[in-house]
């Protein structure tokens, strides 16, 4: 029999109590929890800081909505980094790899996650492809989703991004929701900006959560209809400050999530950081821990222990309840992280890919002015007829739709780095096809170009640059590696290969984090980007289900009206 005892100050979240005691673990489960009264001599009176008395023992942290693929790491490597920060499990939506590789991709994520001591809880992707306005690598119909939901390894129906389909009674959408209800599994939501009667209808269809609220007013509206709200703080989308005040009154209906977390961000911290920030904002620590540790387990019926007798021994030891420095992480009674070091060991994963386009020529990046323009010619002029451009917003997935006046030269639109108006392109990765082009503001690049095959939701190649030559080179670097992120200017180039589905690396997680930090720094420090996370922001510029203006491989798209502003080719 494998057993051990650990003493410390035990945090009983439901009872809002902290007491000194001993946890007995046998064969991966908690055999008993016993108070030691009086505590040993020398234990300090400050119950929130036990750094000198063995630490505080509490349930592990849960990320209640994350796309593992966005970390650029396979699940096993994600786990290696996450446990250092006290995360013991995730609610993981394999939507990204499903859009690229279909059911095979979902099975890959489940199988890889099982190779390490970490509790991944995957969902059945509900929207593959996310829309019909882009080219994806696969499709999952209602029967595919039903088959997935029957599996014990699938815990919920992933975010229902097709909220127009819910509102307008789309038969296929409702079949997927009905399948989740049939197997008693919750349905995740995705409805940015939805309010009032439309929000009520969406929620009454069976949608139980939403992680897309970007104002407190919107979140309160949805809370009023019985929806649970996830406070998201990822590498690009940051809604913590807007929503955290709601936790004073609604902690029983709230959770924390990252949604999308790049490797450098994950190496630095996870849900532990959100707990520290929430306490610093004056939120009662037990309310914070209710959202971080308890609510996700209960809502999704996760197979994660909550520090009770008979539960799986999934718990953490932290230094205090202010900064939440994690001293130890246990999963099924196994010590998986200690003193900032991961104990998880991983093996190289099998490769899985779906990259079928050839390298591009510079002529394919030309953006011709419509023939009706009166300003074509050999001389550089400012085009007087307005065109629409995407305005990226730092820290947000939503964008603005603005009117711009691009420079025209020899009958072609060109980037204007002096005015921060750059060309953005989306290249079909699944076959050779015409390149979609538009303009974008707020990337701030002064030289070169960046490109990525991580581009939600269909993960075609998206690139932004100051001229066609650099755009071509950045895109071709990604194509050559069959997936990755790249940056280039003059004779300087970096690329982080992502050979697994064009989304994930097969390398060690900390190695990937260091490589990503290097290329991210190059884009900001040497190329001039003003964004906090330029590659993460870039990855969302093709995400059509988030308003207001985005670019798919088929054309510039209005997310409010769900229609093209212009198309690459006629429908």
One domain, residues 380 and 289 = no
What's 527's DSSP letter? S
DSSP SS3 for 212: coil
Domain end, chosen from 303, 320, 344, is at 303
One domain, residues 101 and 177 = yes
One domain, residues 371 and 252 = no
One domain, residues 264 and 412 = no
Whether residue 562 is contained in a domain is answered as yes
What is the span of the domain harbouring residue 88? 61-303
Whether residue 531 is contained in a domain is answered as yes
Point out which residues pair with 326 in neighbouring strands.
318
The structure's pTM equals: 0.92
Whether residue 202 is contained in a domain is answered as yes
**pLDDT tens-place string over residues 448-485:** 999 999 999 899 999 999 999 999 999 999 999 999 99
Query: What was the pLDDT predicted at 47?
Result: 56
- Cα–Cα dist 60/57, whole Å: 9
One domain, residues 274 and 387 = no
Three-state SS letters, 536-566: HHHHCCCCCCCCCEEEECCEEEECCCCEEEE
One domain, residues 276 and 378 = no
One domain, residues 272 and 387 = no
The total of structural domains in the chain comes to 2
One domain, residues 94 and 231 = yes
One domain, residues 292 and 366 = no
Instruction: Determine contact, residues 116/79, Cβ cutoff 8 Å.
Output: yes
Query: What was the pLDDT predicted at 235?
Result: 75
Q: What is the CATH number of the domain that holds 264?
A: 3.20.20.140
Parts of the chain with a pLDDT under 70 = 1, 41-54, 371-385, 569-571
Radius of gyration of the chain (CA): 24
Domain end, chosen from 288, 303, 318, is at 303
Query: What was the pLDDT predicted at 46?
Result: 54
Whether residue 39 is contained in a domain is answered as no
Whether residue 536 is contained in a domain is answered as yes
State the CB neighbour count (10 A cutoff) for residue 215: 13
One domain, residues 68 and 213 = yes
Query: What was the pLDDT predicted at 529?
Result: 97
Whether residue 335 is contained in a domain is answered as no
One domain, residues 419 and 516 = yes
Query: What was the pLDDT predicted at 560?
Result: 83
- Cα–Cα dist 560/546, whole Å: 8
Whether residue 56 is contained in a domain is answered as no
Report how far Cα 244 is from the mean position of its chain's Cα atoms.
19
Instruction: Determine contact, residues 24/305, Cβ cutoff 8 Å.
Output: no
Domain end, chosen from 267, 288, 303, is at 303
Whether residue 253 is contained in a domain is answered as yes
The helix (run of H) or strand (run of E) holding residue 452 is strand 449-452
What number of CA atoms fall less than 13 Å from residue 110's CA on the CB side? 17
One domain, residues 120 and 226 = yes
**pLDDT tens-place string over residues 473-518:** 999 999 999 999 999 999 999 999 999 999 999 999 999 999 999 9
């Amino acid at each position: 029999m494998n057993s051990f005892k650990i003493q410390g100050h035990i945090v009983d979240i439901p009872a809002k109590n902290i007491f000194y005691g001993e946890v007995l673990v046998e064969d991966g489960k908690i055999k008993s929890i016993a108070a030691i009264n009086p505590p040993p001599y020398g234990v300090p009176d400050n119950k929130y800081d036990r750094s000198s008395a063995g630490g505080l023992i509490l349930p592990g942290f849960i990320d209640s909505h994350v796309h593992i693929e966005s970390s650029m790491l396979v699940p096993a490597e994600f786990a290696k980094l996450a446990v250092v920060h006290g995360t013991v499990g995730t609610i993981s939506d394999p939507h990204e790899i499903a859009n690229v590789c279909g059911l095979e991709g979902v099975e890959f994520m489940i199988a890889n996650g099982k190779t390490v001591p970490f509790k991944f809880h995957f969902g059945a992707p509900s929207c593959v492809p996310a829309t019909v306005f882009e080219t994806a690598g696969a499709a999952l119909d209602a029967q595919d989703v039903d088959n997935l939901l029957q599996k014990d390894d699938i815990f919920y129906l992933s975010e229902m991004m097709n909220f127009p389909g819910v509102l307008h009674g789309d038969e296929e959408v409702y079949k997927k929701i009905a399948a989740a209800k049939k197997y008693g599994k919750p349905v995740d939501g995705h409805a940015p900006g939805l309010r009032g009667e439309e929000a009520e209808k969406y929620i009454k269809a069976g949608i139980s959560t939403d992680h897309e609220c970007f104002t407190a007013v919107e979140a309160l509206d949805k809370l009023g209809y019985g929806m649970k709200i996830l406070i998201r703080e990822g590498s690009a989308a940051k809604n913590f400050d807007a929503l955290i005040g709601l936790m004073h009154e609604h902690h029983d209906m709230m959770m924390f999530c990252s949604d999308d977390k790049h490797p450098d961000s994950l190496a630095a911290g996870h849900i532990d950081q959100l707990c520290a920030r929430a306490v610093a904002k004056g939120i009662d620590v037990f309310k914070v821990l209710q959202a971080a540790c308890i609510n996700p387990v209960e809502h999704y019926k996760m197979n994660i222990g909550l520090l009770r007798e008979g539960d799986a021994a999934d718990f953490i030891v932290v230094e205090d309840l202010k900064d939440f420095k994690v001293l130890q992480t246990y999963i099924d009674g196994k010590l998986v992280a200690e003193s900032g070091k991961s104990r998880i060991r991983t093996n190289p994963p099998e490769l899985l890919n779906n990259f079928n386009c050839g390298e591009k020529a510079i002529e394919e990046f030309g953006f011709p002015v419509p023939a009706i323009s009166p300003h074509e010619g050999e001389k550089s002029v400012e085009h007087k007829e307005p065109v629409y451009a995407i305005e990226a917003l730092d820290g947000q997935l939503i964008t603005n739709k603005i009117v711009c006046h691009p420079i025209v030269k020899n009958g072609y639109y060109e980037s204007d780095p002096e005015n921060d108006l750059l060309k953005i392109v989306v290249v079909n990765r699944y076959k050779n096809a015409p390149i979609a082009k538009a303009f974008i503001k707020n990337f701030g690049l002064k030289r070169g170009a960046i490109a990525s095959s991580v581009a939600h939701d269909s993960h075609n190649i998206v690139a932004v640059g100051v001229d066609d030559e650099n755009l071509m080179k950045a895109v071709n670097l990604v194509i050559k590696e069959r997936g990755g992120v790249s940056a280039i200017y003059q004779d300087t180039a970096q690329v982080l290969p992502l050979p697994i589905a064009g989304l994930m690396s097969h390398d060690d997680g900390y190695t990937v984090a260091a490589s990503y930090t290097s290329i991210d720094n190059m884009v900001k420090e040497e190329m001039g980007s003003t964004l906090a996370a330029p590659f993460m922001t870039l990855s969302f510029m093709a995400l059509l289900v988030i308003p207001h203006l985005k670019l798919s491989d088929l054309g510039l798209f209005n997310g409010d009206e769900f229609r093209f502003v212009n198309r690459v080719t006629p429908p």
